[in-house]
């Protein structure tokens, strides 16, 4: 369980490169590490709230997915399309005007701005709802689910901190071309994830936990 949670957290932190990510980077570059960390804390708090609400309200949906595994086809297709969008779309890199509004001189206000910015993002809500449903389907017990979430989110937070510090250190190397290439890599990763989730609806695991199957195979690989 723990290994797969860490791996998922690592994958999610690396492939989730959107406006909030670049806002964090821009904040780190123009205002310093501490305001960026305050903004990150607000974003994470909004993520945790979305996860809690999604888990509390998705019990019926999780049971529905267990009875109708073909729902993976829809989830996989949505992720696949989003991957194509990431691959072909261009992203705004300069968020200086937004930073001036969001990353204020007060850490508490910056925290609240990050919280609200993430909370009103419909894409974030849909993403966490999908993720929570998929995880809770594999770990129906609340204790197991929250242990998984703790390790996954801890990994994501550590990687985000690393992004902030690295961006502050290598600010001159973060060009539009590099960002565009990163977006393409993210797009490819999402396309692959979408295909894997799509094919999950055709695979019979005889009640086995999909996450644990992956973890067991990884453990066997490194033995």
d(CA 58, CA 62): 6
Containing 176, the helix (H) or strand (E) segment is helix 176-200
Per-block average pLDDT, block size 10, for the chain (223 residues)? 82 71 75 84 91 81 66 76 79 57 75 86 80 82 91 91 74 66 78 78 55 54 50
Domain locations in the chain? 2-222
Burial class of residue 38 (count of CB atoms within 10 Å of its CB; 0-12, 13-18, 19+): buried
Q: What is the pLDDT of residue 192?
A: 84
Q: What is the pLDDT of residue 182?
A: 73
Max alpha carbon distance in the chain (Å)?
A: 56
Q: What is the pLDDT of residue 148?
A: 92
Q: What is the pLDDT of residue 175?
A: 63
Contacts of 143 (CB under 8 A, 6+ apart): none
């Amino acid at each position: 369980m723990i290994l797969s949670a860490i791996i998922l957290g690592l994958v999610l932190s690396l492939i989730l490169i959107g406006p909030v990510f670049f806002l964090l980077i821009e904040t780190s570059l123009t205002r310093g590490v501490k305001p960026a960390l305050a903004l990150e804390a607000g974003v994470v708090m909004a993520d945790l709230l979305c996860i809690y609400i999604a888990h509390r309200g998705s019990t019926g949906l999780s049971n529905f997915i267990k009875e109708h595994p073909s729902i993976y086809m829809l989830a996989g297709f949505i992720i696949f399309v989003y991957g194509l969008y990431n691959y072909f779309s261009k992203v705004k890199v300069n968020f200086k005007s937004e930073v001036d509004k969001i990353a204020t001189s007060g850490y508490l206000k910056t925290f609240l701005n990050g919280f609200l910015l993430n909370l009103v993002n419909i894409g974030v809500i849909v993403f966490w709802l999908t993720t929570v449903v998929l995880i809770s389907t594999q770990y129906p017990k609340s204790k197991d689910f929250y242990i998984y979430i703790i390790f996954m989110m801890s990994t994501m937070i550590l990687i985000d901190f690393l992004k902030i510090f690295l961006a502050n250190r290598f600010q001159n190397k973060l060009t539009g071309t590099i960002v565009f290439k990163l977006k393409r890599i993210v797009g490819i990763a999402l396309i692959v994830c979408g295909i894997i989730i799509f094919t999950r609806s055709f695979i019979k695991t005889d009640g086995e936990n999909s996450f644990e199957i992956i973890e067991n195979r990884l453990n066997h690989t490194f033995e």
